[in-house]
Amino acid sequence: MSKNIKLSDQQYQIVRALWELGEGSAKDVQHHIKELNLAHTTVGTILTRLEKKGVLVSEPRGRQRIFKAIVSEEDIQQNMVSSLVSTLFKGNASSLLAHLVRENEFSDDDLEEIRSLLDNNKNQGE
């Protein structure tokens, strides 16, 4: 993904709803994320802003506008994590990992999976 797209928590939840739904109107999205207690008009405004950012596209269907995400979840996650590392950890990804380990953010199973990923990565580099 070439664009530097930053999403607020609400924007991310709305795009995530569209990834799960495939596509939907503001009303569909509002029902999908009802735990956020956002008004229909608020959801519509956020969807329109996301479309202007290039994250979504829309088309009219009857009296509704149907939105669909055009960026993948992986692209958004990669972009947001890169931004986090750049902003909070001065570009040092190992500092982020060290912080998470120090804060006990990983279960034993998580640590085992990380070890396995590191081992696989090391073996591929040989």
List, for residues 25-75, the tens digit of each pLDDT value.
Answer: 999 999 999 999 999 999 999 999 999 999 999 999 999 999 999 999 999
Note down the domain range covering 24.
Answer: 1-88
Spatial contact of 14 and 29, defined as CB atoms under 8 Å apart: yes
pTM for this predicted structure: 0.76
48 and 106 both lie in a single domain: no
Q: What is the pLDDT of residue 1?
A: 44
Specify the pLDDT at position 40.
93
Are 21 and 51 within one domain?
yes
How many independent structural domains does the chain possess? 2
Q: Note whether 28 and 79 are same-domain residues.
A: yes
Distances from the Cα of 75 to the Cα of 72, 109, 126, angstroms: 5, 26, 28
Mean pLDDT across the chain:
90
Q: 64 and 75 in one domain?
A: yes
18: number of Cβ within 10 Å: 21
Q: Is 34 found in the same domain as 57?
A: yes
Beta bridge partners of 114: none
